[in-house]
Amino acid sequence: MPAFDTGGVRVLGVRHHGPGSARAVRAELERLRPEAVLIEGPPEADALLHLAGELEPPVALLVHRAGRETGSGTGGWAFWPFASFSPEWVALRYAVDHGVEVRFCDLPAAHTLAEEPGRPDLGAGSPDEVTSDEETPGEREPGEEPPGEEADPEHTRADPLGVLARAAGYDDTERWWDDVVEQRGDGEPSPFPAIQEAMAAVRAEIGPGGVRNQRREAHMRQVLRATLRAGHHRVAVVCGAWHAPAVHETVRHTVKADTALLKGLPRTKVDATWVPWTHGRLATAAGYRAGVSAPGWYHHLFTAPDRPVHRWLTDAARVLRQDEDRAVSSAHVIEGVRLAESLAALRGRPLAGLGEVREALTGVLCEGEETRAALVHGRLALGERMGSVPDTVPMVPLQRDLAAQRRRLRLKAEPFIRDLDLDLRKESHRERGVLLHRLRILDVEWGVPRTPEGSHRGTFREAWRLRWEPEMDVALIEAARWGATVEEAAAARLVDLAGRADLRGVTALTEQCLLAGLDSALPTVLARLTDRAATDGDVTGLMAALPPLARAGRYGDVRRTEGAQLRTVAEGLLRRVCAGLPPALHGLDDDAAAHMATLVDHTHHAVTLLGEEPLRTWTATLAAHAGDDRLPGRVAGRLDRILNDADELDRDTLRRRLARTMSPGIDPARAAAWLEGFLQGSGLILVHDERLLDLIDTWLTGLAPERFASVLPLLRRTFGAFAAPERRQIGTAATRAVPPTGTVSLPLDPERAVPALDSVGALLARAATDRRNSPGRAEV
């Protein structure tokens, strides 16, 4: 094969995220002083390369279809991530800092996004998987074919690094690559000639890969030829090690053949921008196939080339002292370093790797506590951090508006989970909550509502859990079709959703409209709600739609929104529910009765928010039908409990209904179902009403054994739903209950009592003997 130093072209085959490769690229560029640098990446981003000096890695190039509609579900976007230890990033920073021309040379994303919009590595399923970064030296599928093209199974299963690692006597591919490349120090000979020669040998054995790989390499050669024709004599090409032989041997491939490979490819219009990225998204655990197992470790190796083991264990000791409250001294660190270096020497490694420092952390700093060591090691190995991009990068107006609001409201986008508690009585807090609700309407789940704890419950409180993910920038770009600002886009999206939703969906959207402060969309959404309510004859649908509408109307004033109109609509729904409720309560099986009891419960809680007059109307409707023996037992019990709690049912009437339900002529299963509906949610009424408890106790004790066995599962389900303290209180009350007929006398069988009396006598005699044999013990 041609020598590596042929002409003025240097092809640097790298791993896409590796500190050793990055240091080697930097050393080679400083030695070569190239006039132009070509980097594997999407050419559409060439206009953004001058911004590299203003970026803080990790960052990513985002290329997406221009004008793509939201929710198409076909992908249409892809990321190219860069960390501080990525060789491509080092090459890019060198070119920008030295004023050297720099270009991307991979197959344009305009082709790949048009050709394979649904392919997972283009971001449809996992947005952090990258189109052009996938065929890394460690990639297990260097010849993977796109869908619809026939692939050679031998090629798609081939692992070039695995072949080389086995030839070197390693059974762990990652460990071999780390030893040979990533843990190399500054000043060592360039590894690129050996890498290129090794990859050429593997390619000669297993083939160059599929058609997609060949097209990519053909485009790289085309860009290289154009750069040489432009008068640049010293050119450095930084690409994946798998592609290095094909790019270096440009003279062996004709222009005609490369042009034929690229002819007729589909094309779509795309836009590109820089977005922040995270170390978590660079990890293989996140599903990124070109990722690394420990981004934090690689970042450490790159930024601390001198004494990396010493510094790593020092950082671990600091974490143990500050976060775990462990007494870790400098002596622990010294002994940990000695152990890591000794293990590396025993294993024939040039430098202690991640495995050795983990064992040192476990055995010395954590003194054998594997769980604690795993937590600290995992935190350091990931080294979660998030990059940043300046305001000068291209953004859609929606992104710029969100960035401005984040700065104004002091909400920082962070890659880790943070809880946020808001007091809606404060203007700044209310605006934060409004922004988070608007983003959720746009499918940007930066904040997720959570249940507040303890004293933070209340209508004027909101609790959120925040975490920013890189793909949320994609969601913002997709949502840009709805408007230029977050408020405008959220309002337009809400109106669109309301036009296609059913009654229940429209009521939920009405509540979202108020939470998000979208007053401009409220009239349209309410009009949709009125239309749906007028044409929906399903009472259960109306009952399900009422609670969110009642909440919105009741708590509108807290959020400074108009609630009177909402309460008017809610009262109209309630009237229709009351008119259609009677027939809906009859002819229900067990499952339907349970669902109806839940709906009645939720509707009652909603009506209590609407005021006294609607509540009187609702309770009057329930009272008119509560005594109907044709109602399912669970529904009848629930109606009686609601009326009892609302003081609309006197105790004597309740006891008469209970006595009638539990009379001997009634099926015990119906009585158990009534009891389940009556006690649903809370059984404390049995603690405070002994006569009610007596009725239930008398009913149970009077059941025949076979009937008791049939209702026992229902009773267990009813009482098992109560909290343990509540069950204890009911049990205590049951032991105090006195049967209304007086003392119960049970027949005594003296013959059956004889064995028990003999056992008691033996126990007493034994206790007396123990006292005599132990005179020093206190008498009991």
Q: Is the pLDDT of residue 49 over 90?
A: yes
Predicted local confidence at residue 134, as pLDDT: 37
Predicted local confidence at residue 119, as pLDDT: 39
**Between residues 14 and 186, which one has the greater pLDDT?**
14
Predicted local confidence at residue 452, as pLDDT: 67
Q: Is the pLDDT of residue 490 over 90?
A: yes
DSSP letter (8 states) at residue 721? T
Helix (H) or strand (E) holding 62: strand 59-65
Q: Is the pLDDT of residue 65 over 60?
A: yes
Q: How far apart are CA 108 and CA 40, in angstroms?
A: 11
CA angle 239, 243, 247 (to 5 degrees): 85
Condensed to tens digits (0 to 9), the pLDDT of residues 374-406 reads 989 888 988 888 899 988 888 888 999 999 999
21 confidence band (pLDDT: 50, 70, 90) = confident
Q: Is the pLDDT of residue 290 over 90?
A: no
**Between residues 140 and 240, which one has the greater pLDDT?**
240
Of 622, 602, 490, 618, which is closest to residue 548 (Cα–Cα)? 602
Measured from the Cβ of residue 140, the count of other Cβ atoms closer than 10 Å reads: 15
3-state secondary structure of 266: coil
Which phi and psi (to 5°) does residue 218 adopt?
-65, -40
Condensed to tens digits (0 to 9), the pLDDT of residues 335-352 reads 999 999 999 899 888 788
Predicted local confidence at residue 132, as pLDDT: 35
Predicted local confidence at residue 187, as pLDDT: 65
Which residues, 6 or more positions from 476, have their beta carbon under 8 angstroms from its beta carbon? 396, 398, 399, 402, 442, 444
Q: How far apart are CA 548 and CA 575, in angstroms?
A: 16
| Mean pLDDT on 186-195 | 79
Mean pLDDT lowest for which of 128-137, 263-272, 619-628? 128-137
**Between residues 41 and 127, which one has the greater pLDDT?**
41
Pairing mode, strands 270-276 and 447-449: unpaired
CA angle 40, 46, 48 (to 5 degrees): 115
**Between residues 644 and 61, which one has the greater pLDDT?**
61
Predicted local confidence at residue 218, as pLDDT: 93
**Model pTM score:** 0.68
Predicted local confidence at residue 185, as pLDDT: 60
Tell me if 473 sits within 8 A of 403, measured CB to CB. Answer: no
Q: Is the pLDDT of residue 249 over 70?
A: yes
Q: How far apart are CA 46 and CA 638, in angstroms?
A: 69
Of 114, 92, 116, which is closest to residue 36 (Cα–Cα)? 92
DSSP letter (8 states) at residue 659? H
Tell me if 36 sits within 8 A of 235, measured CB to CB. Answer: yes
Tell me if 474 sits within 8 A of 77, measured CB to CB. Answer: yes
Structure token pair of residue 764? 């007493």
Verify cis geometry, omega within 30 degrees of 0, for the bond prior to 739. no
3-state secondary structure of 628: coil
Q: How far apart are CA 61 and CA 54, in angstroms?
A: 14
Predicted local confidence at residue 69, as pLDDT: 41
**What is the residue whose two structure tokens read 């977005």?**
275
**Alpha helix ranges (H) inside 211-254:** 211-229, 244-248
Percent of the chain with pLDDT over 90: 27
Of 551, 657, 562, which is closest to residue 609 (Cα–Cα)? 551
Predicted local confidence at residue 332, as pLDDT: 93
Tell me if 240 sits within 8 A of 209, measured CB to CB. Answer: no
73 confidence band (pLDDT: 50, 70, 90) = very low
**Between residues 85 and 693, which one has the greater pLDDT?**
85
**Alpha helix ranges (H) inside 363-459:** 370-382, 397-409, 427-441
Pairing mode, strands 36-39 and 59-65: unpaired
Condensed to tens digits (0 to 9), the pLDDT of residues 657-694 reads 777 777 766 777 777 777 778 777 776 677 776 767 77
Tell me if 33 sits within 8 A of 234, measured CB to CB. Answer: yes
Predicted local confidence at residue 225, as pLDDT: 92
Tell me if 40 sits within 8 A of 206, measured CB to CB. Answer: no
Predicted local confidence at residue 711, as pLDDT: 72
Q: How far apart are CA 9 and CA 618, in angstroms?
A: 85
Q: Which CA distances in Å does 200 have to 153, 158, 180, 639?
A: 20, 14, 18, 80
| Mean pLDDT on 124-150 | 33
Predicted local confidence at residue 778, as pLDDT: 42
Predicted local confidence at residue 736, as pLDDT: 65
Tell me if 466 sits within 8 A of 420, measured CB to CB. Answer: yes
Burial class of residue 201 in the structure, from the number of CB atoms within 10 Å of its CB (0-12 exposed, 13-18 middle, 19+ buried)? middle
Condensed to tens digits (0 to 9), the pLDDT of residues 590-602 reads 888 888 888 888 8
Predicted local confidence at residue 189, as pLDDT: 77
Number of H helices, E strands in the chain: 33, 10
CA angle 631, 637, 641 (to 5 degrees): 135
Predicted local confidence at residue 466, as pLDDT: 94
* List of E strands, 141-234: none
Condensed to tens digits (0 to 9), the pLDDT of residues 274-284 reads 999 999 888 88
In the chain, where the domains are located: 9-286, 306-382, 397-482, 651-740
Predicted local confidence at residue 273, as pLDDT: 92
Structure token pair of residue 710? 């049939």
123 confidence band (pLDDT: 50, 70, 90) = very low
Q: How far apart are the first and last CA of the chain?
A: 100
Q: Which strands sit side by side in the sheet containing 447-449, from one edge to the other?
A: 418-423, 461-466, 447-449
3-state secondary structure of 673: helix
Predicted local confidence at residue 774, as pLDDT: 63
Q: Is the pLDDT of residue 153 over 60?
A: no
DSSP letter (8 states) at residue 283? B
| Mean pLDDT on 254-268 | 90
556 confidence band (pLDDT: 50, 70, 90) = low
Burial class of residue 287 in the structure, from the number of CB atoms within 10 Å of its CB (0-12 exposed, 13-18 middle, 19+ buried)? middle
- The mean of the pLDDT values for the chain is 80
Q: Which CA distances in Å does 5 have to 60, 479, 706?
A: 32, 50, 94
Q: Is the pLDDT of residue 136 over 50?
A: no
Predicted local confidence at residue 75, as pLDDT: 57
Tell me if 273 sits within 8 A of 62, measured CB to CB. Answer: yes
Q: How far apart are CA 125 and CA 384, in angstroms?
A: 23
| Identity of the highest mean pLDDT range in 315-329, 603-617, 729-743 | 315-329
**What is the residue whose two structure tokens read 């408007």?**
483
Q: Is the pLDDT of residue 93 over 70?
A: yes
Q: Is the pLDDT of residue 780 over 50?
A: no
Q: Is the pLDDT of residue 752 over 70?
A: yes
155 confidence band (pLDDT: 50, 70, 90) = very low
